[in-house]
Chains A and B, each alone.
Chain A
Amino acid sequence: MSDSLFDKLGGEAAVDAAVDIFYRKVLTDSTINRFFDGVDMEKQAAKQKNFLTMAFGGPNNYTGEDMRKGHAHLVKQGLSDSHFDAVAGHLKSTLEELNVADNLINEVLAIAESTREDVLGR
Protein backbone atom coordinates (compact mmCIF):
# COMPACT_ATOMS: atom_id res chain seq x y z
CA MET A 1 0.00 0.00 0.00
CA SER A 2 1.44 3.34 -0.93
CA ASP A 3 1.24 6.14 1.61
CA SER A 4 -0.41 9.40 0.71
CA LEU A 5 1.62 12.58 0.46
CA PHE A 6 0.22 13.64 3.83
CA ASP A 7 1.46 10.43 5.46
CA LYS A 8 4.85 10.67 3.81
CA LEU A 9 5.26 14.17 5.20
CA GLY A 10 4.43 12.91 8.69
CA GLY A 11 0.73 13.77 8.95
CA GLU A 12 -0.70 15.89 11.75
CA ALA A 13 2.68 16.13 13.51
CA ALA A 14 4.30 17.55 10.37
CA VAL A 15 1.63 20.21 10.19
CA ASP A 16 2.23 21.07 13.83
CA ALA A 17 5.95 21.37 13.23
CA ALA A 18 5.46 23.53 10.17
CA VAL A 19 2.76 25.87 11.35
CA ASP A 20 4.86 28.02 13.71
CA ILE A 21 7.72 28.32 11.25
CA PHE A 22 5.44 29.14 8.35
CA TYR A 23 3.27 31.60 10.25
CA ARG A 24 6.32 33.41 11.63
CA LYS A 25 7.61 33.88 8.08
CA VAL A 26 4.27 35.20 6.88
CA LEU A 27 3.91 37.66 9.77
CA THR A 28 7.39 39.09 9.25
CA ASP A 29 7.02 39.51 5.48
CA SER A 30 5.99 43.14 5.10
CA THR A 31 4.71 42.58 1.56
CA ILE A 32 1.91 40.31 2.79
CA ASN A 33 1.49 40.57 6.55
CA ARG A 34 -1.24 43.20 6.32
CA PHE A 35 -3.55 40.48 5.02
CA PHE A 36 -3.06 38.57 8.26
CA ASP A 37 -3.74 41.38 10.71
CA GLY A 38 -6.46 39.36 12.43
CA VAL A 39 -7.61 40.29 15.88
CA ASP A 40 -7.09 36.88 17.35
CA MET A 41 -3.77 35.35 16.53
CA GLU A 42 -4.63 31.87 17.70
CA LYS A 43 -7.65 31.69 15.42
CA GLN A 44 -5.46 32.90 12.56
CA ALA A 45 -2.92 30.24 13.41
CA ALA A 46 -5.64 27.58 13.35
CA LYS A 47 -6.49 28.76 9.85
CA GLN A 48 -2.85 28.49 8.85
CA LYS A 49 -3.02 24.92 10.06
CA ASN A 50 -5.97 24.34 7.77
CA PHE A 51 -3.98 25.85 4.94
CA LEU A 52 -1.00 23.59 5.56
CA THR A 53 -3.14 20.48 5.99
CA MET A 54 -4.67 21.21 2.61
CA ALA A 55 -1.33 21.91 0.93
CA PHE A 56 0.10 18.72 2.43
CA GLY A 57 -2.69 16.76 0.79
CA GLY A 58 -4.25 15.98 4.16
CA PRO A 59 -7.91 15.48 5.07
CA ASN A 60 -9.93 18.62 4.48
CA ASN A 61 -13.31 19.64 3.20
CA TYR A 62 -12.33 22.66 1.18
CA THR A 63 -13.59 23.11 -2.35
CA GLY A 64 -12.40 25.55 -4.98
CA GLU A 65 -15.50 27.55 -4.22
CA ASP A 66 -14.51 27.76 -0.53
CA MET A 67 -11.08 29.06 -1.52
CA ARG A 68 -12.73 31.66 -3.74
CA LYS A 69 -15.08 32.82 -0.99
CA GLY A 70 -12.44 32.57 1.74
CA HIS A 71 -10.06 34.93 -0.05
CA ALA A 72 -12.56 37.21 -1.79
CA HIS A 73 -12.22 39.92 0.87
CA LEU A 74 -8.45 39.81 0.36
CA VAL A 75 -8.77 40.08 -3.42
CA LYS A 76 -10.75 43.26 -2.78
CA GLN A 77 -7.78 44.51 -0.77
CA GLY A 78 -5.51 43.88 -3.75
CA LEU A 79 -4.41 40.26 -3.37
CA SER A 80 -2.44 39.38 -6.51
CA ASP A 81 0.01 36.93 -8.05
CA SER A 82 2.98 38.49 -6.29
CA HIS A 83 1.36 37.84 -2.89
CA PHE A 84 0.52 34.32 -3.92
CA ASP A 85 4.14 33.75 -4.96
CA ALA A 86 5.33 35.09 -1.63
CA VAL A 87 3.13 32.66 0.31
CA ALA A 88 4.22 29.77 -1.90
CA GLY A 89 7.83 30.83 -1.29
CA HIS A 90 7.36 30.72 2.48
CA LEU A 91 5.77 27.32 2.16
CA LYS A 92 8.78 26.11 0.22
CA SER A 93 11.38 27.51 2.62
CA THR A 94 9.45 26.16 5.62
CA LEU A 95 9.63 22.67 4.19
CA GLU A 96 13.29 23.11 3.34
CA GLU A 97 14.00 24.11 6.93
CA LEU A 98 12.30 20.92 8.05
CA ASN A 99 14.52 18.93 5.68
CA VAL A 100 11.66 17.61 3.61
CA ALA A 101 12.78 15.81 0.47
CA ASP A 102 12.68 17.86 -2.74
CA ASN A 103 10.22 15.60 -4.55
CA LEU A 104 7.74 15.96 -1.67
CA ILE A 105 8.22 19.73 -1.59
CA ASN A 106 7.39 19.82 -5.27
CA GLU A 107 4.22 17.85 -4.68
CA VAL A 108 3.15 20.30 -1.97
CA LEU A 109 3.87 23.27 -4.18
CA ALA A 110 1.87 21.69 -6.99
CA ILE A 111 -1.15 21.40 -4.70
CA ALA A 112 -0.77 25.05 -3.66
CA GLU A 113 -0.37 26.08 -7.30
CA SER A 114 -3.57 24.27 -8.25
CA THR A 115 -5.53 26.70 -6.06
CA ARG A 116 -4.06 29.89 -7.57
CA GLU A 117 -6.99 30.85 -9.81
CA ASP A 118 -9.51 30.23 -7.01
CA VAL A 119 -7.52 32.05 -4.34
CA LEU A 120 -7.07 35.03 -6.64
CA GLY A 121 -10.72 34.91 -7.68
CA ARG A 122 -10.19 34.53 -11.41
Chain B
Amino acid sequence: MSTITFKTHQLTCHPDETLLDAMLRKNIDVPYNCKSGSCHTCLMRSSDQTPPVKAQEGLKPTQKQQNYFLACLCKPDQDMTITLPDAADKFITYGKVISKHPLSKDIIELKLECNNPLSFKAGQFVNLMKPDGVYRSYSIANTPNKNNIIEFHIRILPGGQFSEWIYNDLAIGDQIPITDAKGNCFYIPERQEQGLLLIGTGSGLAPLAGILMDALEQKHTGPIHLLHGSKNKEGLYRFNEMKSLAEQQQNFHYTACISGDTTPETYTRGRANEVALKKITDLKGWRVYLCGHPDMVEQTKKQAFLQGAAMQDIYADAFFLTPRS
Protein backbone atom coordinates (compact mmCIF):
# COMPACT_ATOMS: atom_id res chain seq x y z
CA MET B 1 0.00 0.00 0.00
CA SER B 2 1.43 3.36 -0.90
CA THR B 3 0.55 6.95 -0.20
CA ILE B 4 0.21 9.26 -3.15
CA THR B 5 0.42 13.02 -2.92
CA PHE B 6 -1.32 14.97 -5.66
CA LYS B 7 -1.81 18.72 -5.24
CA THR B 8 -3.53 19.02 -1.86
CA HIS B 9 -4.72 15.39 -1.82
CA GLN B 10 -3.15 12.49 0.03
CA LEU B 11 -4.56 9.18 -1.06
CA THR B 12 -3.92 5.54 -0.51
CA CYS B 13 -3.38 3.25 -3.43
CA HIS B 14 -4.17 -0.39 -2.68
CA PRO B 15 -1.74 -3.08 -3.86
CA ASP B 16 -3.98 -4.36 -6.62
CA GLU B 17 -5.32 -1.05 -7.77
CA THR B 18 -3.96 1.27 -10.42
CA LEU B 19 -3.16 4.81 -9.48
CA LEU B 20 -5.82 6.03 -11.89
CA ASP B 21 -8.47 3.86 -10.23
CA ALA B 22 -7.40 5.06 -6.80
CA MET B 23 -7.78 8.66 -7.93
CA LEU B 24 -11.16 8.03 -9.53
CA ARG B 25 -12.30 6.20 -6.40
CA LYS B 26 -11.52 9.38 -4.48
CA ASN B 27 -13.44 11.44 -7.04
CA ILE B 28 -10.32 13.30 -8.09
CA ASP B 29 -10.96 14.72 -11.51
CA VAL B 30 -8.12 13.69 -13.85
CA PRO B 31 -8.16 13.19 -17.61
CA TYR B 32 -8.25 9.58 -18.84
CA ASN B 33 -9.72 7.59 -21.67
CA CYS B 34 -8.75 4.04 -22.64
CA LYS B 35 -7.50 2.80 -19.24
CA SER B 36 -5.22 0.39 -21.04
CA GLY B 37 -2.04 2.30 -21.76
CA SER B 38 -2.83 3.18 -25.34
CA CYS B 39 -4.20 6.69 -25.47
CA HIS B 40 -1.77 8.41 -23.09
CA THR B 41 -4.52 10.73 -21.85
CA CYS B 42 -3.70 9.96 -18.22
CA LEU B 43 -0.05 10.91 -18.56
CA MET B 44 1.40 12.12 -15.26
CA ARG B 45 4.76 12.84 -13.77
CA SER B 46 6.37 11.79 -10.54
CA SER B 47 8.27 14.57 -8.85
CA ASP B 48 10.19 12.37 -6.43
CA GLN B 49 10.35 8.68 -7.41
CA THR B 50 11.19 6.68 -10.50
CA PRO B 51 7.82 5.25 -11.56
CA PRO B 52 7.38 1.45 -11.93
CA VAL B 53 8.74 0.18 -15.27
CA LYS B 54 5.34 -1.15 -16.30
CA ALA B 55 3.81 2.32 -15.90
CA GLN B 56 6.20 3.76 -18.49
CA GLU B 57 5.52 1.23 -21.24
CA GLY B 58 5.08 2.85 -24.62
CA LEU B 59 6.42 6.28 -23.61
CA LYS B 60 9.25 8.00 -25.41
CA PRO B 61 12.68 7.40 -23.83
CA THR B 62 12.95 11.14 -23.13
CA GLN B 63 9.63 11.04 -21.26
CA LYS B 64 10.73 8.04 -19.23
CA GLN B 65 13.86 9.83 -18.21
CA GLN B 66 11.79 12.70 -16.84
CA ASN B 67 9.67 10.31 -14.72
CA TYR B 68 6.53 10.56 -16.79
CA PHE B 69 4.19 7.59 -16.49
CA LEU B 70 0.66 6.45 -17.29
CA ALA B 71 -1.65 6.44 -14.27
CA CYS B 72 -3.76 3.62 -15.74
CA LEU B 73 -0.76 1.27 -15.85
CA CYS B 74 0.75 2.39 -12.58
CA LYS B 75 0.64 0.18 -9.51
CA PRO B 76 2.89 2.17 -7.21
CA ASP B 77 5.39 0.16 -5.16
CA GLN B 78 6.33 3.11 -2.97
CA ASP B 79 5.02 6.51 -1.88
CA MET B 80 5.02 9.07 -4.66
CA THR B 81 4.30 12.72 -5.27
CA ILE B 82 2.71 13.26 -8.66
CA THR B 83 1.68 16.12 -10.93
CA LEU B 84 -0.20 16.50 -14.18
CA PRO B 85 2.13 16.82 -17.20
CA ASP B 86 1.64 20.50 -17.76
CA ALA B 87 1.04 21.56 -14.21
CA ALA B 88 0.75 25.33 -14.08
CA ASP B 89 3.82 27.22 -15.19
CA LYS B 90 6.08 27.76 -12.26
CA PHE B 91 8.66 30.48 -12.58
CA ILE B 92 11.52 29.04 -10.61
CA THR B 93 14.44 31.36 -11.19
CA TYR B 94 15.49 34.69 -12.62
CA GLY B 95 17.84 35.07 -15.53
CA LYS B 96 20.07 38.11 -15.73
CA VAL B 97 20.73 39.35 -19.26
CA ILE B 98 24.46 39.04 -19.84
CA SER B 99 24.54 39.43 -23.59
CA LYS B 100 22.26 40.18 -26.49
CA HIS B 101 23.54 40.37 -30.02
CA PRO B 102 22.26 39.84 -33.57
CA LEU B 103 22.80 36.49 -35.28
CA SER B 104 21.07 37.62 -38.46
CA LYS B 105 18.84 40.41 -39.63
CA ASP B 106 15.90 39.23 -37.52
CA ILE B 107 17.32 36.71 -35.06
CA ILE B 108 19.13 37.64 -31.88
CA GLU B 109 21.12 35.57 -29.46
CA LEU B 110 20.19 36.16 -25.85
CA LYS B 111 22.26 34.84 -22.95
CA LEU B 112 20.86 34.71 -19.43
CA GLU B 113 22.63 33.83 -16.23
CA CYS B 114 20.27 31.99 -13.89
CA ASN B 115 20.49 32.92 -10.24
CA ASN B 116 19.36 29.41 -9.27
CA PRO B 117 20.74 26.41 -11.15
CA LEU B 118 18.22 25.31 -13.76
CA SER B 119 18.00 21.62 -14.48
CA PHE B 120 17.59 21.13 -18.23
CA LYS B 121 18.67 19.27 -21.35
CA ALA B 122 19.78 21.14 -24.42
CA GLY B 123 16.78 21.36 -26.77
CA GLN B 124 14.16 21.68 -24.05
CA PHE B 125 12.33 24.96 -23.72
CA VAL B 126 11.42 27.35 -20.92
CA ASN B 127 8.90 30.13 -20.65
CA LEU B 128 10.22 33.63 -20.17
CA MET B 129 8.01 36.36 -18.74
CA LYS B 130 8.09 40.09 -19.24
CA PRO B 131 7.06 42.62 -16.58
CA ASP B 132 3.43 42.88 -17.74
CA GLY B 133 2.95 39.12 -17.28
CA VAL B 134 3.03 38.12 -20.98
CA TYR B 135 5.16 35.01 -21.43
CA ARG B 136 6.46 32.94 -24.36
CA SER B 137 8.32 29.67 -24.89
CA TYR B 138 11.92 29.65 -26.09
CA SER B 139 14.22 26.71 -26.72
CA ILE B 140 17.56 26.37 -25.00
CA ALA B 141 20.42 26.35 -27.49
CA ASN B 142 23.31 25.30 -25.26
CA THR B 143 24.17 22.43 -22.94
CA PRO B 144 24.14 22.67 -19.13
CA ASN B 145 27.24 24.41 -17.78
CA LYS B 146 28.68 25.37 -14.43
CA ASN B 147 28.07 29.09 -14.99
CA ASN B 148 24.30 28.53 -15.17
CA ILE B 149 24.16 30.36 -18.47
CA ILE B 150 21.39 29.57 -20.91
CA GLU B 151 21.33 30.70 -24.50
CA PHE B 152 18.39 31.45 -26.81
CA HIS B 153 17.95 32.35 -30.46
CA ILE B 154 14.99 34.64 -30.77
CA ARG B 155 13.36 35.63 -33.99
CA ILE B 156 11.99 39.15 -33.94
CA LEU B 157 8.49 39.15 -35.42
CA PRO B 158 7.07 42.46 -36.63
CA GLY B 159 4.40 43.39 -34.12
CA GLY B 160 5.33 40.48 -31.89
CA GLN B 161 4.61 41.40 -28.28
CA PHE B 162 7.41 39.46 -26.68
CA SER B 163 10.09 39.34 -29.33
CA GLU B 164 9.90 43.07 -30.04
CA TRP B 165 10.13 43.76 -26.34
CA ILE B 166 13.31 41.69 -26.18
CA TYR B 167 14.66 43.57 -29.16
CA ASN B 168 13.71 47.08 -28.11
CA ASP B 169 13.49 47.19 -24.34
CA LEU B 170 15.41 44.39 -22.70
CA ALA B 171 18.79 45.63 -21.47
CA ILE B 172 21.96 44.02 -20.17
CA GLY B 173 21.62 43.43 -16.44
CA ASP B 174 17.80 43.13 -16.52
CA GLN B 175 16.26 40.14 -14.76
CA ILE B 176 13.61 37.90 -16.38
CA PRO B 177 11.57 35.17 -14.65
CA ILE B 178 12.16 31.67 -16.10
CA THR B 179 10.11 28.48 -15.69
CA ASP B 180 11.51 25.00 -15.32
CA ALA B 181 12.57 23.32 -18.56
CA LYS B 182 9.98 21.37 -20.50
CA GLY B 183 9.65 19.26 -23.62
CA ASN B 184 10.78 15.89 -24.90
CA CYS B 185 12.92 17.05 -27.75
CA PHE B 186 16.44 16.37 -26.49
CA TYR B 187 19.32 13.93 -26.83
CA ILE B 188 19.67 10.79 -24.76
CA PRO B 189 22.79 8.65 -24.96
CA GLU B 190 21.05 5.42 -25.95
CA ARG B 191 21.65 3.47 -29.17
CA GLN B 192 24.55 5.77 -29.95
CA GLU B 193 25.20 4.13 -33.29
CA GLN B 194 21.85 5.38 -34.55
CA GLY B 195 21.81 7.99 -37.31
CA LEU B 196 20.54 11.38 -36.14
CA LEU B 197 18.69 13.60 -38.57
CA LEU B 198 18.23 17.19 -37.37
CA ILE B 199 16.00 19.46 -39.45
CA GLY B 200 15.22 23.05 -38.51
CA THR B 201 13.96 26.25 -40.07
CA GLY B 202 14.81 29.76 -38.88
CA SER B 203 15.43 29.99 -35.14
CA GLY B 204 14.57 26.27 -35.06
CA LEU B 205 18.33 25.90 -35.19
CA ALA B 206 18.39 26.84 -31.49
CA PRO B 207 17.27 23.52 -29.98
CA LEU B 208 19.06 21.59 -32.72
CA ALA B 209 22.37 23.31 -32.04
CA GLY B 210 21.95 22.35 -28.39
CA ILE B 211 21.04 18.76 -29.24
CA LEU B 212 23.99 18.55 -31.62
CA MET B 213 26.45 19.78 -29.00
CA ASP B 214 25.01 17.40 -26.46
CA ALA B 215 25.29 14.44 -28.85
CA LEU B 216 28.89 15.34 -29.71
CA GLU B 217 29.85 15.88 -26.06
CA GLN B 218 28.33 12.50 -25.22
CA LYS B 219 30.31 10.92 -28.06
CA HIS B 220 27.49 9.84 -30.31
CA THR B 221 29.01 7.41 -32.81
CA GLY B 222 26.38 7.29 -35.58
CA PRO B 223 26.19 9.82 -38.41
CA ILE B 224 24.63 13.17 -37.49
CA HIS B 225 23.05 15.23 -40.26
CA LEU B 226 21.94 18.80 -39.62
CA LEU B 227 19.89 20.60 -42.24
CA HIS B 228 19.12 24.24 -41.55
CA GLY B 229 16.71 26.08 -43.80
CA SER B 230 15.82 29.68 -44.48
CA LYS B 231 14.52 31.84 -47.30
CA ASN B 232 17.89 33.46 -47.83
CA LYS B 233 21.54 33.28 -46.88
CA GLU B 234 21.21 35.87 -44.09
CA GLY B 235 18.81 33.60 -42.21
CA LEU B 236 21.35 30.78 -42.08
CA TYR B 237 23.13 32.13 -39.06
CA ARG B 238 26.08 30.21 -37.58
CA PHE B 239 26.90 28.99 -41.11
CA ASN B 240 30.65 29.33 -40.67
CA GLU B 241 30.62 27.75 -37.25
CA MET B 242 28.60 24.75 -38.42
CA LYS B 243 30.67 24.36 -41.54
CA SER B 244 33.93 24.23 -39.67
CA LEU B 245 32.46 21.90 -37.06
CA ALA B 246 31.51 19.56 -39.91
CA GLU B 247 35.09 19.70 -41.15
CA GLN B 248 36.45 18.74 -37.73
CA GLN B 249 33.88 16.14 -36.70
CA GLN B 250 34.01 13.14 -38.91
CA ASN B 251 30.43 11.95 -38.21
CA PHE B 252 28.79 15.39 -38.44
CA HIS B 253 27.34 16.67 -41.73
CA TYR B 254 25.88 20.11 -42.26
CA THR B 255 23.65 21.28 -45.10
CA ALA B 256 22.54 24.90 -45.37
CA CYS B 257 19.34 25.10 -47.43
CA ILE B 258 17.89 28.14 -49.13
CA SER B 259 14.28 28.03 -50.26
CA GLY B 260 14.41 31.41 -52.03
CA ASP B 261 15.54 32.11 -55.57
CA THR B 262 19.24 32.80 -55.22
CA THR B 263 21.47 30.03 -54.03
CA PRO B 264 25.10 31.04 -53.61
CA GLU B 265 27.79 28.39 -53.83
CA THR B 266 28.21 26.02 -50.85
CA TYR B 267 24.50 26.42 -50.09
CA THR B 268 21.87 23.91 -51.18
CA ARG B 269 18.76 24.92 -53.01
CA GLY B 270 15.40 23.80 -51.58
CA ARG B 271 13.49 23.50 -48.35
CA ALA B 272 15.48 21.90 -45.56
CA ASN B 273 12.91 19.17 -44.92
CA GLU B 274 12.61 18.25 -48.58
CA VAL B 275 16.36 18.22 -49.11
CA ALA B 276 16.80 16.04 -46.03
CA LEU B 277 14.23 13.45 -46.99
CA LYS B 278 15.66 13.19 -50.49
CA LYS B 279 19.15 12.85 -49.11
CA ILE B 280 18.28 10.09 -46.67
CA THR B 281 15.48 8.12 -48.21
CA ASP B 282 15.47 5.15 -45.85
CA LEU B 283 15.01 6.38 -42.29
CA LYS B 284 14.57 2.97 -40.74
CA GLY B 285 16.50 3.00 -37.48
CA TRP B 286 17.13 6.78 -37.54
CA ARG B 287 16.31 9.23 -34.81
CA VAL B 288 14.75 12.40 -36.17
CA TYR B 289 14.55 15.85 -34.54
CA LEU B 290 12.33 18.53 -36.08
CA CYS B 291 12.17 22.12 -34.89
CA GLY B 292 10.74 25.38 -36.13
CA HIS B 293 7.80 26.23 -38.32
CA PRO B 294 4.73 24.20 -37.23
CA ASP B 295 3.69 23.29 -40.78
CA MET B 296 7.17 22.11 -41.65
CA VAL B 297 7.32 20.08 -38.44
CA GLU B 298 3.93 18.44 -38.96
CA GLN B 299 4.52 17.60 -42.58
CA THR B 300 8.01 16.27 -41.99
CA LYS B 301 6.93 14.15 -39.04
CA LYS B 302 4.57 12.31 -41.30
CA GLN B 303 7.00 12.02 -44.18
CA ALA B 304 9.84 10.82 -41.95
CA PHE B 305 7.51 8.19 -40.53
CA LEU B 306 6.47 7.07 -43.99
CA GLN B 307 10.12 6.81 -44.96
CA GLY B 308 10.68 4.32 -42.17
CA ALA B 309 11.45 6.22 -38.95
CA ALA B 310 9.65 4.73 -35.95
CA MET B 311 7.12 7.02 -34.27
CA GLN B 312 9.06 6.60 -31.01
CA ASP B 313 12.17 7.97 -32.69
CA ILE B 314 10.66 11.18 -33.99
CA TYR B 315 11.12 14.17 -31.69
CA ALA B 316 9.56 17.47 -32.59
CA ASP B 317 9.23 20.99 -31.27
CA ALA B 318 6.85 23.06 -33.34
CA PHE B 319 7.27 26.77 -32.64
CA PHE B 320 3.56 27.48 -32.34
CA LEU B 321 2.65 31.13 -32.06
CA THR B 322 0.34 32.12 -29.25
CA PRO B 323 -3.10 32.94 -30.70
CA ARG B 324 -4.16 36.53 -30.10
CA SER B 325 -6.88 36.75 -27.50
Q: Using a CB–CB distance below 8 Å, which chain A residues touch chain B? A: 12, 15-16, 19-20, 23-24, 27-28, 39-42, 45-47, 49-50, 53, 58-61
Contact = CB atoms under 8 A, between A and B. Distances in A.
B171 interface: no
Contacts of B311: 19-20, 23, 41-42, 45
Given A46-B40, A53-B34, A60-B36, A12 B57 contact: yes
Contacts of B40: 46
B301 A61 contact: no
B310 A59 contact: no
Contact of B37 (A12, A24, A27, A28): A12
Contacts of A15: 38
Q: Is chain B's interface secondary structure helix, strand, loop, or mixed overall?
A: loop
B98 interface: no
B39 A58 contact: no
Contacts, number: 49
B36 A53 contact: yes
B39 A49 contact: yes
A43 to B, nearest CB: 9
Contacts of B34: 50, 53, 60-61
A53 to B, nearest CB: 5
A112 B207 CA distance: 43
Interface string B291-325: 00000001001100110001100000000000000
A107 B74 CA distance: 30
Nearest to B34: A50
Nearest to A15: B38
